[in-house]
Amino acid sequence: MYPTVAEAVALPVIRRGRPRLVAGSAGLDRRVRWVHVSEIADIAPLLRGGELVLTTGIALPGDPAGLSRYVEDLASVGAAGLVVELVRRWSDRVPPALVEAAEQHGMPLVTLAVETRFVSVTEAVVALIVDAQLAELRAAEQVHETFTALTVAGAEPAEVLREVARTSGLPVVLETLGHDVLAYDAAGQDPAELLADWGQRSRAVSVPERTAYHEEAGWLVTVVGARGADWGRLVLLSPDDPPHRHVVVAERAASALAVHRLVARDRESLERQAHRTVLTQLLGQAPPPHDLPARAAALGVPLERRQLLGVAIRPGSTTSPAQAVTTQEVLRDLAEATALAARRATVPALVGVVDDTTVRALLSLPPQVGLEAVLRRFATEVHRTAAATQHGLPVVVAVGTTVLGAPDVRRSLGEAAHVAGAALRSPSAGLYHRLDDVRLRGLLHLLRDDERVRAFAERELGPLVTRDAAQGSRLLELLRCFCEQGGNKSAAAAAAHLSRTAYYQQLARIEQVLGVSLEDPESVLSLSVALLVTDLTTP
């Protein structure tokens, strides 16, 4: 906001005095907060710092020690520089002691060879300061208007961060208080370099106030939160001490992000959004973007030199299309419950909802860790946390095969979703399901959209379905009991809650309607497969 000493010396009113820099060139970039004219030697206690001191030198000490002490006192209070007019006290040059002291303290020492009206210098420099302040205020006002518009429009975090990067020209990162990256804008820089070892770097940066600049790291940090509930930090990577307008940008962006979170409390959390974005790209692009491993690592889930395991979690009961909104609420709650389960089981995991039926998770484990113990611990926590949600639904947990790199994650996640779909109506129980567990049901799940498979099921069961619809009977249900009990008529009768005599009569009717014998193993197998296909294709 303030001009530098070099900019002040370049003003026409000073240049007319034929200025010459005789010492302290290292301090030419010091900011000039004010201009002060003084002839006394003990002026330092009256200064506040940042002043450009103008003097003719007529009252300065005559001895070298006094001149050195004079410059030392000015430097101790943070004076920006010293301008000496060479007319009244010294005619052609200032004493060597003054030059040496100024050089030692890095204080610019400028001499004027021509008599200069100091009042004109003061007016010119102050006008420069005021112009800079006005420009800064206008910029700050523009920032306020821009981010107020974004807030009112309900802008997403990515839009807010894009505006921060555009306005400041600096990379910006939104992170959780646990130092996981939720969103970022690299402002044209390499994202992989920006996010490299982010968690470790971020944990080393602590600031005492809600908004502060950490000079060693070159980070401008502001806390994000509202109503006393802080949930993140916004970081602008600024190698130099940021101007006031950048502070305003950071604080207004943090406010916009906090308001967005309050408004969107009933929607997907920022963390789930960030995870979902990475999972979607892992599922949808081959090979995945080059910066994806860095982004995942910044979320606390490394993808390189790890065992990666796709997991799918589905609610244990289905909903009708009319309950679509409720289904999304269930999946959002289930995603948060799964993320909580991963934290409790101390398993790094990406968790998000990427379709209308399933929560996906990608577990990242060190190479030497045994998978089974981790899976049991994770699945147990998933069942526990899911049961504790407001919906309290049972869930099906399915896992794919283990892969060792990001390009193969798509296969593991796809397998997990396939197993979850096949196991959804499986009578078998367990903490989690693998490909080996779903067997024939899994194969039929893969083929469920094939018209030939659907036609086979309709041929096998069509007459029975028509009879039930026309007469209100439940022959299809009774046939299911028979098949599920492996052809044991007594067990099937008990499962159907009928006497054996009544049940046997119904079996005879089924044989008559279908024109098959239930004593024939191949007929029973065909009917069992048709029932499985019907289960997998019924909405």
pLDDT tens, position by position, 181-191: 888 999 999 99
113 Cβ neighbours under 8 A, 6+ residues apart: 17, 18, 20, 86
* pLDDT score, position 212: 93
Q: Cα 310 to the chain's mean position, in Å? A: 21
Q: Are 283 and 413 in contact (CB under 8 A)?
A: yes
- Nearest-CA neighbor of 100 among 50, 55, 147, 65? 65
Give every strand in the sheet of 349-353, ordered side by side: 349-353, 359-365, 307-315, 395-403
Dihedral sign for Cα 376, 380, 381, 382, please.
positive
The backbone torsions φ and ψ at residue 37, rounded to the nearest 5 degrees and listed phi first, read -100, 125
| CA distance linking residue 297 with residue 189, whole number of Å | 18
Please report, for the chain, the start and end positions of each structural domain, with discontinuous segments joined by +.
5-126, 154-263, 300-444, 451-537
Give helix 500-514 / helix 451-471 axis angle, nearest 10°: 120
Per-residue tens of pLDDT for the chain, all 539 residues? 688 889 889 999 999 999 999 999 989 989 888 899 988 888 888 888 889 999 998 888 889 999 999 999 999 999 999 999 988 888 888 899 999 999 999 999 999 988 888 899 999 988 888 887 787 777 777 777 888 887 777 778 888 999 999 988 999 999 988 888 888 999 999 998 899 889 889 999 998 899 999 999 999 999 998 766 788 899 999 998 888 888 988 988 998 888 877 766 545 577 888 898 899 888 886 677 888 888 899 888 999 889 999 999 988 764 443 343 457 778 888 888 899 999 999 999 999 988 878 899 999 999 888 888 999 999 999 998 988 877 777 888 989 889 988 888 888 898 888 888 777 766 556 788 887 666 666 666 666 667 887 888 888 888 888 888 888 888 888 888 888 888 888 888 888 888 988 888 898 988 888 888 888 888 888 888 888 777 766 65
- Which residue type is seen at 277? T
Helices (H) and strands (E) in the chain, counts: 20, 14
442-447: long-range contacts, CB 8 A cutoff, minimum separation 24:
442/418, 444/529, 444/532, 444/533, 444/536, 445/418, 445/421, 445/536, 446/418
Give DSSP secondary structure letters for 423-462: HTT-S---S-B-HHHHHHHHHHHHTTT-HHHHHHHHHHHH
Alpha carbon distance 198, 170 (integer Å): 16
| Residue 39, SS3 per DSSP | coil
- C-alpha–C-alpha distance, residues 23 and 104, integer Å: 9
Neighbour count for residue 374 (Cβ, 10 Å): 17
**DSSP 3-state assignment of 59?**
coil
How many Cβ atoms are within 10 Å of 320's Cβ, its own excluded? 9
Residues 233/222, Cβ–Cβ less than 8 Å: yes
DSSP secondary structure of 390-412: SS---EEEEEEEEESSGGGHHHH
Cα end-to-end span (Å), the chain: 65
pLDDT of residue 322: 36
Query: Would you state the structure tokens that stand for residue 335, as one six-digit string?
Result: 């995603």
Query: What gap in Å lies between CA 429 and CA 439, rounded to an integer?
Result: 14
Which CATH architecture does the domain made up of 5-126 adopt?
3-Layer(aba) Sandwich (3.40)
Cβ-count burial 25-50 (b if 16+ within 10 Å, e if not):
eebbebbbbbbbbbeebebbeebeeb
* C-alpha distances out from residue 337 to 290, 310, 317, 412, Å: 30, 17, 17, 21
Place of tokens 């060792």: 404
Please state, rounded to an integer, the average pLDDT across all residues of the chain: 85
Element (H, E) at 279: helix 270-284
Specify the CATH class of 300-444 in words: alpha beta
State the DSSP string of 306-369. SEEEEEEEEESS---GGGHHHHHHHHHHHHHHHHHHHHHTT--EEEEE-SSS-EEEEEEE-TTS
Q: CA 467, CA 444: separation in Å to the nearest integer?
A: 26
- At the topology level, CATH places domain 154-263 in Beta-Lactamase (3.30.450)
CA–chain centroid gap for 205, Å, is 18
Q: State if pTM tops 0.75.
A: no
pLDDT on residue 435: 73
Res 348: pLDDT: 92
Query: According to the model, what pLDDT value does residue 70 have?
Result: 92
Residues 65-85: b if buried by 16+ CB within 10 A, e if exposed: eebbbbbebbbeeebbbbbbb
DSSP letters along 251-269, please? HHHHHHHHHHHHHTTTS--
Residues in the chain: 539
CA gap 351, 358 in Å, rounded:
11
User: What's residue 324's pLDDT?
Assistant: 39
